[in-house]
Amino acid sequence: MDASARKRVAVIDACRTPFMRSGTAYYDLMAWKLGSYAVKGLIARTGIDHALVDYVIMGTVMADVATTNVAREIMLGAGLPGSIPAHTCTAACVSANIAITTAYDMICNGQAEAVIAGGTEFMSDPAIKIGKRYRRFILDYTMFRRPKTFVEKLRLIKGMKLRDFFAVEQPAIGEYSTGLIMGQNADRLARRLGISRREQDEFAARSHRLAVAAIRNGKMRKEIVPVVVPGTGKAITEDNGPRPDATLEKMEKIKPAFEKKYGTVTAGNSSFLTDGASAVLLMSEEKARDTGLKPLAYIRSYAQSGSDPWEELLLGPAFATARALQKAKLKFSDIEVFEIHEAFAAQILANIRYMESEEWGKSRLGLGGKMGVVDLEKINTRGGSLSLGHPFGATGGRLIASCCSRLREENARYGLVAGCGAGAVGNAIILENAQ
Amino acid sequence: MKYFTLEKNKDNIAVITIDCPEGKVNKVSSGFLDEVAAIIEDIKNDKSVAGMVILSAKEDNFVVGADIDEVKDMKNAEEAVTYISKGHAILNELEKMKIPVIACIQGNCLGGGLELALACNYRMAVDSPQTVLGFPEVQLGLLPAAGGTQRLPALIGLTTALPMMLTAQTLRARKAKRAGLIDELIPPYGLKQTGIKKAIELAKNGLPARKRQRSFVNFLLESNPLGRKIVFAQARKKVTRQTYGCYPAPYAIIDAVECGYVKGREAGLKKEIELFGKLVVSPQSKSLTNLFLSMSDLKKNPQKNMARRVGKLAVVGAGLMGQGIAAGSTSVCDTILMKDVNLDAAAAGMKEIWKSLEKRTKAGAMLHFDRDIQYNKLVACDDYALFGNTDLVIEAVFEELEIKKRVLADVEAAAGERTVFASNTSAIPIKNIAAGCQRPQNVIGMHYFSPVPRMPLLEIITTDQTADWVTATALDLGIAQGKTCIVVKDGPGFYTTRILAPLLNETILLLEEGAIPNEIDRAMRRFGYPVGPATLIDEVGIDVGAHVYEQLGPMFSKRGITASQGLTKLLGQGYKGKKNKKGIYNYALKKKKGQKMPDENVYDILGDSPRREFDEELIQQRISLMMINEALICLEEGIISCPRDGDVGAVFGLGFPPFQGGPFRYIDNTGAAKVLATMESLEKQYGQRFRPARILADFVQSGKKIYSDR
């Protein structure tokens, strides 16, 4: 369908909790609680009447078994009435992006007029499974076999070693299909595209520098809702990821994290485990007008992409942006504000390589030639996931918040939010300034 | 039948459903009792009935107690004795039933309702925070008189039963199970089927033996006459310490329980009936009952249709007051902005609210997810950016006119046409705060009392300009917060602070004349105040008191009353009261025999009169009549719209002796002529401040009571 014929969908507001390194300030919380703080903050900021909200969608990746439909606990916990349906979506690191674009679709289709979408991630308490052998034993003992006699019981333990009772399975951030963990794939990509260690370290240092500056000059405050962890009596107002001392010199000293010998991807130029949540209020243009809520931006188009998990695992932004631009009938040069997820410095540099390449543009992205020339001055000027952190399910909401805020401040017309996710999926959203 | 339905099912179980037609709750009344008697008779004569189940058709209560109106209208002790004897006979019959009699309890099971349940031989209660059991009779100056004083201790033990009856403390389902008050927790819904199933089971297997678990100490105290004697003596001592003997009901409860232990169940029951007859007609009980009825009246908002819902509330100032107001609103509003000068100050306030939510969760009063929902409604802020769309803003900032005016201006700039601005001030006239603002019709006073969660009163102050919908909205919010609200007119000190000021003034004057603070306090405690006025000054704060004087001084001096400068002098010497440990009492010295030691330097500051003894009655008259007379003048001036509001305000806001029912009820009880005579003689001796209110002379002349209800 032609974009102009559809309903216009407005972003009324977007906000997030401060992003905190896992194991720090949010230590005793849960994913749904973080999500509730973001949603509650959004409601307080916009002043929207509960009765106007039609639906809630939240993204998350490492779901807690206790709250599998975490979106539901989040909205109930934020005091929204039970009559509003909610679902959780998961698509790795673009979970929140997809929550937002699903909300967009719902509004376009007339399924809803106002949707809260975003995401949450809590890595301070990830689920650790007990070892498979022991797990099987417990399941067989209590549910599937239920041995009656002593001999039968003994048979279940047969072959088990002592360490089977202690071994645990760490959750891996890896590809099931390729068996590579993501950092290894980033190394592979960097080598394939000739991205140097220095380039990566420079980009990571830049991310920290810009994030620290954005916090210092108060720009970050606009998108953050302070969190008061119950019982602490202290307000958390800032991200604790960005480090003023993350200079190039320091970056260079860090040893490779994944491919110890020949790799270039380090803990310094990768995003780190983070807790945080984000929430975005989307509304049809008419509804926003009726209720007197002023949109920040309109969603002009969006696209999802899939690519090859071996060679193009982290290239979602390039693939999805190509399509989103086509749908919006815009040129790459029309975009003035870029907010692209930074999983690894190597990953974002690789995406830029793809965007600027005649060859990849033609052969892989389905374009006539190169997508365009990337101006670094327009990308992630308030830092990115490398410095602010990356709560998997929530990052998309942060990107929207940041993009909307930058569109206003830079008086720009079009902005792009893009991300990549495990399984080689990508998502790109083009926003148009509402002013 | 009017109150019950009786059905017998194929399993020969009789199901009795209580459904009083008059309202949402079941109450015990004469008609109710007659029907119970008939049902018992019926079942006794029907040999086929194998078991009995008693339950309520109401959603949230079993039986909430006796019909107060009926009890209140009893003219004399004989009438009361006849009424309660009938109840006794019926419950004794019920208790003697040979078949299983099961009470299925859901929601409130209080007073007479609990006594009915106690007479059954098996009790089941729905496992929910809404299931509450207890004996509130003592609050009305009565005792549980339908066998409660006998059956409760027998069931759960003396050491658990006594406090329950003496303090009207209620037990939730789980605690009641632990105490042995109920036999079984059951899931909600399908109570009838659950009850029938149990009745069949009990009819077949017989009643299970009850085993009471108690601590070794309790065993020592409860199991022998000597131990029990200690318990009774201690209980009497404690009551005397707390009430200075002003209330007969607690002693009656102890007497009845003791009589049962010493002379047996039958004598105990008789004693209970006798004491009930005495208590019902006692002035204390009448006053307390009237207060209770006034409070119930005030739980309804007469302007409900004009009230707007407060979804988004903002509290400016997250100090003790602000926290308390916000804490009381988490179950009422959707969003509560906690605004303070910085986020950490707001967060510190949120911490206290969290603590109280946590406490209630641990006590089983709320579920953990509800605790989280309520906490999540709080949003910390350090500016007014989020104030758009707020329905009501309550400021609880420092008590200074200019600061309050600035907050109002900031709120008006940030919020909308529909935003009500409420000032939580104790003395500053609301019209002064509203002077020069954009929307004076939206400005109102909401005077909460500290500590907010525990003080039941809310004084709502309207100016000439306050819009009706604004008053209705504030009233609605206050009622939803669980407060008893009185609506008063604007003026210096409104009603409560205004009638408190002369009382404090008289206290200082007495100190200046040479009275000893402990004696003043003791005299007033004996009069029935829960806290003596000297202690009150220290606790409220001498600085606060001096500030109130500043606000009210001009009004009093216009009437020719010169206020003591004592508080100002003390403040000048750095005395602020308990908060800085420098007050009328010396908080550095250790208490002697439980008595605080006065600070002797205070005497010097207050004019160095030699200390001397004062007649106790004179102290009581001088201090209490100052408040009572000012209350009369407030009624005269229309600050309060009726005596009821004046009584409720004085009792629940200022601790005026509840058993006296309030200043106006006190005049009725004592006799207006007598009060007038005392005032006149005090006026001769002490001057103009004791000039009786004109309205008092009017009452004397007309020969009518202030209240026409008795």
pLDDT tens column, B558-600: 888 878 899 999 999 999 999 899 999 999 888 888 889 999 9
DSSP character string of B602-647: HHHHTT-PPP----HHHHHHHHHHHHHHHHHHHHHHTSSSSHHHHH
Percent of chain A with pLDDT over 90: 89
Residue A3: pLDDT above 60?
Answer: no
pLDDT tier at B96, thresholds 50, 70, 90: very high
Least CB–CB distance from B344: residue in A43, A49, A235: A235
The alpha-carbon gap from A215 to the nearest alpha carbon of chain B, in Å, equals 17
- Locate A378 and state its tokens: 């327009």
CB A329 within 8 A of CB A3: yes
The residue assigned the tokens 């099931």 is A176
Confidence band (pLDDT; 50, 70, 90) for B106? very high
Q: Tell me the pLDDT band of B240, cut-offs 50, 70 and 90.
A: very high
Confidence of residue A6 (pLDDT cuts 50, 70, 90): low
ipTM of the shown complex: 0.93
Mean pLDDT in residue range B602-628:
94
Question: Which one of the listed residues A15, A89, A404, A420 is annotated catalytic?
Answer: A420
Name the one residue in this structure whose structure tokens are 């002797």: B600
| Yes or no, beta carbons of B355 and A226 under 8 Å apart | no
User: What residues of B are labeled active site?
Assistant: 459
Q: Which residue has the higher pLDDT, B560 or B649?
A: B649
Pairing of strands A55-59, A114-121: parallel
CA-nearest residue of chain A to B355?
A: A231
Considering only CB atoms, which chain B residues are within 8 Å of A33?
372, 376
pLDDT score for B215? 84
Residue B133, strand partner residues:
B109, B171
Question: In this complex, do A36 and B346 lie within 8 Å of one another by their Cβ atoms?
Answer: no
Which positions in chain A touch B381 (Cβ < 8 Å)? 226
With 0-12 / 13-18 / 19 or more C-beta atoms within 10 angstroms meaning exposed / middle / buried, residue B612 is exposed
Residue B200 CA to its chain's centroid (Å): 43
Mean confidence (pLDDT) of chain B? 94
Chosen from A228, A234, A238 to mutate, greatest number of chain B CBs within 10 A: A228
Closest partner CB to B376 (pick from A47, A79, A234):
A79
CB-defined contacts A:B, below 8 A:
75
CB contact under 8 A, B377 and A228: no
Higher-pLDDT residue of B1 and B230 is B230
Nearest by CB to A40, from B350, B379, B381: name it: B379
Q: Average pLDDT over chain A, rounded to whole?
A: 95
Residue B608 confidence (pLDDT) above 90: no
**Cβ–Cβ below 8 Å for B343 and A79:** no
What length is written for chain A? Answer: 435
pLDDT at A1: 46
Q: Order of strands, edge to edge, in the sheet holding B13-18?
A: B4-8, B13-18, B51-56, B101-105, B122-126, B184-186
- pLDDT, one tens digit per residue, over B442-488 is 999 999 998 999 999 999 999 999 999 999 999 999 999 999 999 99
pLDDT digits (tens, 9 = 90+) for A232-256: 999 999 999 999 999 999 999 999 9
Separation in Å, CA of A45 to nearest CA in chain B: 5
Binned at pLDDT 50, 70 and 90, residue A167 comes out as confident
Which residues, other chains included, contact A85 with Cβ-Cβ below 8 Å and sequence gap of 6+?
A55, A56
Residue among B347, B373, B388 whose CB faces A234 most closely: B347
Mean pLDDT value across residues B496-518:
95
Rounded to the nearest angstrom, the gap between the alpha carbon of residue B297 and the centroid of all alpha carbons in its chain is 14
CB contact under 8 A, A43 and B377: no
The mean pLDDT of B223-245, rounded to a whole number, is: 93
Closest CA to B71 of B291, B281, B287, B292: B281
Pairing of β B51-56 and β B13-18? parallel
Q: Are the Cβ atoms of B311 and A49 closer than 8 angstroms? A: yes
Give the chain B residue nearest A79 (alpha carbons): B373
Q: Which helix (H) or strand (E) holds B87?
A: helix B77-96
pLDDT at residue B9 above 70? yes
Binned at pLDDT 50, 70 and 90, residue A404 comes out as very high
Which of A273, A274, A205 shows the shortest CA–CA distance to A245?
Answer: A205
Q: Cα distance from B305 to chain A (closest Cα, Å)? A: 21
Which residue's entry shows tokens 């408040």? B627
Tens of pLDDT along B48-58?
999 999 999 99
In B, which residues are within 8 Å of A41 by CB distance? Answer: 379
Annotated catalytic residue: which of A89, A93, A403, A404? A93
Cβ within 8 Å, pair A231-B354 = yes
Cβ <8 Å between A233 and B348: yes
Residue A5's pLDDT is what?
54
Closest residue in chain A to residue B358, using alpha carbons only:
A231
In this complex, the residue of B337, B346, B375 whose CB is nearest that of residue A44 is: B337
- Residue A171 is predicted with a pLDDT of 75
Task: Please answer whether residues A119 and A21 qualify as being in contact, where contact means their C-beta atoms are separated by less than 8 angstroms.
Answer: no
CB contact under 8 A, A79 and B379: no
Check CB contact under 8 Å for A76 and B373. yes
Closest CA in chain B for residue A41: B379
A403 part of the active site: no
Instruction: Report pLDDT for B709.
Output: 65
Q: Are A44 and B386 within 8 A, CB to CB?
A: yes
pLDDT at A165: 87
Helix (H, G, I), strand (E, B) or coil at B188: coil
| pLDDT for A173 | 67
Using a CB-CB cut-off of 8 Å, the residues of chain A touching B389 are 47
Residues of chain A contacting B348 with CB distance shorter than 8 Å: 233
* SS3 of B320-384: HHHHHHHHCCCCCCCEEEEECCCHHHHHHHHHHHHHHHHHHHHCCCCCHHHHHHHHHCEEEECCC
